[in-house]
Amino acid sequence: DDGAGTGVNADAVISTRFIMERYLDGSEVDVDVVMSEGEWQYAAVSDNGPTLEPYFNETWAVSPSLLPRQQQVALKELAISSVKALGFTDGIFHVECKYTSIGPHLIEVNARMGGGPVHVTNLRTWNVDLVEETLFCAAGIPSRPAVPKQPTECIANSDVNTLRSGRLLDLSFLEPIRGREGVISFSPHVRVGDQVVGPRDGLPTWLVEIVVTKPTPREALDFLLSLEAEV
């Protein structure tokens, strides 16, 4: 309708089909997988924090996973079998899953390395360079990453969501976090003068990406959340 009660036949030029997806409860994870010569050579589970609904905006992540080992194994097996079911034999994959009230469930398979801090997370936690593994795959070199039995360090990261709408007059409130011990990356997404959106008005704006390191995943996550509370 064009507002005057006259139809504009939009369905003639715009598809009116849509997909409805089932809501998945439970804990969301990422599984980063390296495939080589038809078999997995590396698979690591990272936890994702609860998304900010109703927009499903991402919040935080921590590696290694804090989920029970049995759930991690089930999620890893689901991710690997999903990659194989799609016919992939070589490559780097970022697989998103949830462990729901009825078990593990696939969200999506990305036939690429994950974005954001995924590269640094796998490198610092498990000493696996996913960029290097991508180059090996492209050159036809078999992948055999040397993965330690225990994580070398534990990483947590957050894209801090804006809590209310407005215009940023300055970013000085972020400065006390920048040089804090344990903060390995601090990347503002906004600039002074930007208009930001809070959850009451729409999809929240991400203010800053923070990446931290601690000896255990629980310590890393607790430290990250304490910094986020300061913002």
Where along the chain do its domains lie? 24-150, 153-231
Binned at pLDDT 50, 70 and 90, residue 55 comes out as confident
Measured in Å, how far apart are the chain's first and last C-alpha atoms? 44
CATH of 24-150, one of 3.30.470.20, 3.30.420.40, 3.40.50.740, 3.90.640.10: 3.30.470.20
pLDDT given at position 5: 61
pTM of structure:
0.88
Say if residues 34 and 128 touch (Cβ distance below 8 Å): yes
153-231 is a CATH 1.20.1630 domain: no
CA distances from 64 to 1, 3, 120, 174 (A): 52, 54, 13, 27
pLDDT given at position 16: 78
pLDDT given at position 215: 97
22-47 pLDDT per residue, tens: 889 999 999 999 999 999 999 999 99
**Residue-wise DSSP of 157-213:** EEEEEPSS-EE----GGGHHHHT-TTEEEEEES--TT-EE--TTTSSPPEEEEEEEE
- Output DSSP code: residue 68: -
Phi, psi at residue 107, to the nearest 5°?
Answer: -100, -55
